[in-house]
Structure 1
Amino acid sequence: MGSSQRSTMTRNVAELVDGSSAARGEVYFVDCLPVYVKELIAGGAAGAFAKTSIAPLERIKILLQTRTHGFHSLGVFQSLKKLMKQEGVLGFYKGNGASVIRIVPYAALHFMTYEQYRCWILNNYPALGTGPSIDLLAGSAAGGTAVLCTYPLDLARTKLAYQVRGTGGSFGNGLSGFHVQPVYHGIKDVFKKVYTEGGVRALYRGVGPTLIGILPYAGLKFYIYEKLKMYVPEEHQKSVITRLSCGALAGLFGQTFTYPLDVVRRQMQVQSLQPSVQQGHPEFRSTLQGLTAIVRNQGWRQLFAGLSINYVKIVPSVAIGFTAYDMMKSWLRVPPREKTKFVSA
C-alpha cells in the first residue's frame, strides 16, 4: 500500500471520528449499516466492556449468594483475599469467558430491542406520549427478550463460577456428601452435562425468577436513566460524568427491588449440586416456593446475601454500560432519537 493510500485511509478514519466527512457528503461503510445493526454493535461492545470491568466482584457475589463452603461467612474483602490465595488472579475471572460470551449477545439484543420496542410503542400507541413511561415498557420487554435468548449461557457462567479450587488443587464447591460433585471444564462441557442430566428444560433451570426479576429491573433501569437525564440541562446531557451518574443511580435503584429474585435464581441454578437436595430435600419448583424456602431454612437475610457487593459492582457496571452505549451510538453515527423515534428501523 502506497504512502498516498495510507494517508488517505488515515484522513478518512479521522474524519469518521469527528464527523467532518458528513458535511462534504462522503459515505463510509458505517453509514451504510442499518440503524438496528449499529444498535446491536453498540450494545454488545458496551456490555462486554462493562462486564469485564466488574468480573472479580461478580465472582464473589455468586459465591456469597450460593453459600459456597468457606465463603458464606466471609465479607467481601476477606472473600477476595481467600480467592486470591486459593486460585490466584485468574480465579477472579473464572466464568468471565461465559459471562462475556453471554453478555455480548444479551446486551446487544437488550439495547437494540429496547430501541425497536420503543419505536413500535410510539408508532402504535401515540396516546401514551413520549415520556419515560415508554422507556419503562420498552425496557421491560427488551429485558425479557434478551433473557430468553441467552439464558443457557448465564447458567453456564454460574456453574463455572460456583466451582472453587481446593487447597489440594482439586475442583469442587467445598461440600461433602454422598454424591460426587460434577466438574465442568468449560462452557461446552457445562452444556453437554446439563443437557444429559435433564434436557433442554435443565438448561433453563431458574429462568422463571430471572424473568420475574428482569422485567421490572430492566424497565426501571431505562426509566430512571431517561428520567434523570430530563433534569439535566441540555448542554450537559452529553457529559460523561452526567451519563455515569445517571446510570449508576438507575442501576442501584432498580437492583434493590429485584435482588431477592436474583438470589432465588442462583440457588435454583446450582441446587442440584447442594447437599440439602442430595439428602432428600425438595428442589425449588417455583419462584414463590424458592423465596419461602430460603426465608424458612436460611433466614430472610439470605435473600440479600451479596447485596453489598452488588451495590459496589452495579455502580460501575450500569454506569459504564449506559455511557459506553451512548458513546458507541455517537461514534457509529446513529441518528438522534428525536429524528428516529417515529420511524421504523
Structure 2
Amino acid sequence: MSSNQREWQALRNLLIPVQYNHLVAGITGGVTSTLVLHPLDLLKIRLSVNDGRLKSRPYYHGIKNAIKTIYKEEGIRGMYRGVTASCISAGASWGFYFYFYNSIKNWMLDGNNQITLGPWNHMLAAAQAGSITMVLTNPIMMVKTRMCLQYADHYMNIPTYRRYTGIIEAFRKVYKYEGVGGLYKGLVPSLFNVSHGALQFMIYEEMKDWYYVRTGNKKLSHWEYLGFAAVSKLIAASATYPFQLVRARLQDQHQQYSKLKEVIKKTWKGEGIRGFYKGMTAYSLHVTPNICIVFLIYEELAPSD
C-alpha cells in the first residue's frame, strides 16, 4: 500500500465510523441553549470589555446595572442583539466539537469499545477537537462578539465601517477593511482556551467512568448527566476564563489592539488581576444552565458509546 493510500485509509478510519448523530446533537443543543440563554451571554461579553476607557459605549457597574441600562436604552431587543450570529456560532461550535471529539475517540479506540481511554487520552481528544473547531468557527464567533457589542444609537460614534446591521454586512465589512486577519482576531487566545474544553471533557468522562464502575449501570439519569456536566463546566470555566476575556477584547470593534500582548499588558496595568475576570459572574450564571441543556440534548440524541 502506498503512503497516499495509507493516509487516505487513516482519514477514513478517523471520520467514517462516527455517526452524524453527534454533529446533529451538538448543533441542536448549541442552538437551543443559545435561544434560551443569549441575554446572559451578551452580558458576559459586554462586561468582559467593560474597562471604562471609552465614551463610545456605556460603562456598567455590575450585572444589575448592565441589565437596567440595556433595557432602558435598547429595550428588550437589546438583550437579544447578536442572537442570530450567536445561534450559528454555538450550533457550529458544538456540532463540530462533538463530531470531531467522537471521531478522534473512535480512532484512538480502533473500534474496541470494551476499553476505556483514561483521563489523558480524553483530554488529548478534546484538545484536538477543540483546536480544529476553533479554526473552523473563529470568523463567526468574531462576528457574534461584534454584533453583541452594537450599543444604542447615541453611543455609536464610531466609524461607519465598524457598524453592522446584520451578519452578512459584518462579514463583508470586516473582510473589506481588516482582511482575512480581521476574521481571525482572537484565534490565539481561543486556541489557548482549548484547555477549557479539554479539562471539561476529561472531568466529565472520568466522572461517567467512575459512575459506571461503581454502579455497573451505563445509562445515566437526566439528573446525573446534568450534575456531571455542570460540575465539569464550572471547574473548567474558573480555570480558563481569562482566555475568553482576552479574546473578546481583541475582537471588540470599539478598541483596536495591535496584538495579544498589548491586551494583557493594558488589562493588567489598568485593572489588575480582577480585570481578567470581568464578566465572570454573568458567565457563571450562563454557563451552568447552558452546558446542562447542551449535554442533556446531546446525550439524548447522540448514540451511546
Q: TM-score if structure 2 supplies the norm length?
A: 0.85
RMSD, aligned α-carbons: 2.5
- Structure 1 counterpart SS, 2:162: coil
> How many pairs were matched up?
282
Could you tell me which residue of structure 2 aligns to residue 305 of structure 1? 278
- Structure 2 counterpart SS, 1:88: helix
Could you tell me which residue of structure 2 aligns to residue 147 of structure 1? 134
Write the letter of the residue equivalent to 2:208. Answer: K
Could you tell me which residue of structure 2 aligns to residue 293 of structure 1? 266
Residue 295 (structure 1) shift: 0.1
Structure 1 unpaired stretches of 5+: 1-32, 278-282, 338-345
Which residue among 13, 32, 46 is the counterpart of 1:63? 46
Matched, 1:243 2:225: yes
Q: 1:63-212 maps to which residues of 2 (within 5 A)? A: 63-67=46-50, 71-123=58-110, 130-166=117-153, 170=154, 172=156, 182-212=162-192
- Maintained 8 Å contact 1:135/1:223: yes
Question: 1:104-133: per-residue Cα shift (whole Å, max 9, x none)?
Answer: 22211100100001112223999x962232
Residue 301 (structure 1) shift: 1.2
Which residue among 215, 219, 223 is the counterpart of 2:202? 223
Matched, 1:50 2:29: no
- Maintained 8 Å contact 1:63/1:72: no
- Maintained 8 Å contact 1:217/1:258: yes
For 1:191 and 1:80, locate their aligned partners in 2 and report how far apart those are by CA, in whole Å: 28
Residue 154 (structure 1) shift: 0.7
Q: TM-score if structure 1 supplies the norm length?
A: 0.75
Question: 1:31-50: per-residue Cα shift (whole Å, max 9, x none)?
Answer: xx974322111111111112
For 1:37 and 1:264, locate their aligned partners in 2 and report how far apart those are by CA, in whole Å: 33
For 1:300 and 1:253, locate their aligned partners in 2 and report how far apart those are by CA, in whole Å: 19
Higher CA-based Rg: 1
- Maintained 8 Å contact 1:229/1:237: no
- Maintained 8 Å contact 1:83/1:91: yes
Question: 1:178-218: per-residue Cα shift (whole Å, max 9, x none)?
Answer: x56732000111111111112111110111111111x2111
Structure 2 unpaired stretches of 5+: 1-15
Residue 71 (structure 1) shift: 4.8
* Higher RCO (CA < 8 A, seq sep 6+): 2
Cα pair distance change 1:293/1:171, threshold 3 Å: closer
For 1:301 and 1:135, locate their aligned partners in 2 and report how far apart those are by CA, in whole Å: 32
